[in-house]
Amino acid sequence: MLFVSVSKGQDTIRAPKADTLALATDTLKKDTLTLAQKNFMFQDTMKQPKLSNRWRKVLLASSIGAYTVGSLTLLNVLWYQHYPRSAFHFFNDNAQWCQMDKMGHAWTTYNSGRVIMQAMKWAGFSTSPFQVDMGSLVQESMKWAGFTRTQSLIIGETFGILYMSSIEIMDGFSQKWGFSWGDELANVGGGALFSLQQHFWHEQRFQLKMSYHPTSFPKLRPNELGSNFAEQILKDYNGQTYWMSINIASFLKKTTKFPKWINVSFGYGATNMICGKPNDVINIDKSVGSYAGDGQTSELITANGDRYYFTRYRKFYVSLDLDFTKIKTKSKFLRGLFCVLNGFKLPFPAVEFSSHGTKFQPFYF
């Protein structure tokens, strides 16, 4: 070490040079920072839950199993138990319901994979549509079990496809329906929309959402379109709208001031559908015939012989939406709630386009 001599009377004080003092100070700071980091890591480790990796996996698998069994049982009660069973068979329904049922399959598969991925994040899988920052992902994987991104993607999409395929198998044993390859293609499409975005962007920039509003059609055919609100959400395609909600800020620079939680949504729906096929004749005794009309008109015959005609048509929408995943919160409960809510389109003003013209909807859901 170099010193400088300073004389004062008979005494000589040897002081360190300025550059040497600065070097020593920097070294001390680095040592102090290292100790602080080690102390933080120790405290962080002490905060880890005592639940073992194995039991975290067991808890996740049990939850997924309970969700699968419970939801399929509920679907059987609300839907299939009202119709006779049959031997397994195939069924081509691609021309029915203006393909609204296919949109429902894609929406269910997409959001099943999305919710399962959020659960896997909790259980230690190192990817999630709700965590874009890779540093956070690594930290989460260290806290929990630490599965690879590839593993989580495969499990998430496989669950979604198998879940919806099980519904197709139930259709295959129903006398009224059958296994539909069109439905299965929609299942795969919904899963691919999720997994491809997760693989390349680590987030969901294109989000498939749904909204529903009650209509007057179920009272005409309650067995087909639902006799209560819960059934109508599933069966009344007239009130369903499916949305492709796009997060604009995800395509802009990170320094953009455009609100990250605002989406632009493009919707699709249809109306005047009292049956699946567009040219059916529906009698009050529930028998179905064929109406030789324009190919898009169905006929309903009541008990007193009155005849009503319904010409179905498609509707398209442009609206705004909210991306709940862009709302920052430290609450695990709110993150879980936002995960569920992000599968549904919020009511907003919308512009409707159809063969009946253009219409402004001040509050559309």
Same-domain status, 217 and 177:
no
Tell whether the model's pLDDT for residue 135 goes beyond 50: no
Number of structural domains, the chain?
Answer: 2
The continuous run of DSSP H or E covering 163 comes out as helix 149-172
Same domain assignment for residues 128 and 159? yes
Residue 43 lies in a domain: no
Whether 94 is covered by a domain: the verdict is yes
- 132-136, 202-206, 215-219, 345-349: which range is least confident on average? 132-136
List the structure tokens of 216: 């007057």
> 199 or 204, which is more confident?
204
Indicate whether 79 pLDDT > 80. no
Tell me which residue of 309, 276, 315 sits closest to 294, measured CA to CA: 309
Q: Which of 204, 226, 242 is the last residue of a domain?
A: 204
The one-letter amino acid at 106: A
Which SS3 state, helix, strand or coil, does residue 243 take?
strand
Domain limit, last residue, from 147, 182, 204: 204
Q: What is the DSSP letter of 301?
A: E
Cα separation of the two ends of the chain: 77
321 and 200 belong to one structural domain: no
DSSP letter at 302 equals -
> Do 211 and 189 sit in the same domain of this protein?
no
Q: What is the pTM of this model?
A: 0.74
Same domain (yes/no): 131, 77? yes
Residue 88 lies in a domain: yes
Q: Residue 361's beta-bridge partner residues?
A: 350
Query: Band of the pLDDT at 286, cuts 50, 70, 90?
Result: low
pLDDT above 50: residue 5: no
Q: What was the pLDDT predicted at 133?
A: 31
Secondary structure (3-state) at 242: strand
Domain, as residue range, for 71: 64-204
**Euclidean distance between CA atoms 161 and 101, whole angstroms:** 16
Query: Do 184 and 261 fall within a single domain?
Result: no
Alpha carbons 214 and 230: distance in angstroms, whole number: 11
Query: pLDDT tens digit string along 247-262?
Result: 999 999 989 999 999 9
Report the phi/psi class of residue 211: left, alpha or beta, with left for phi > 0 and alpha for psi in -120 to 50: beta
Residue 259 lies inside a defined structural domain of this protein: yes
pLDDT confidence of residue 145: 43
Of 115 and 107, which is predicted with more confidence?
Answer: 107
What pLDDT score does 65 carry? 81
The verdict on residue 253 lying in a domain is yes
Domain match, 231 and 200 both: no
Decide which of 158, 187, 204 is a domain's last residue: 204
Report the SS3 class of residue 180.
coil
Q: Is the pLDDT of residue 148 over 70?
A: no
The pair of three-digit structure tokens given for residue 250, joined into one six-digit string:
């995800």
Q: What value does the mean pLDDT of the chain take?
A: 78
Are both 155 and 220 inside the same structural domain? Answer: no
Give the lowest-confidence range in 224-228, 243-247, 282-286.
Answer: 282-286
Q: Which residues are 314's β-sheet partners?
A: 270
Phi-psi region of 278 (alpha: psi -120 to 50; beta: other; left: phi over 0): alpha
299 CB-near residues (< 8 Å, 6+ apart): 280, 281, 282, 291, 293, 307, 308, 309, 310
Domain contains 17: no
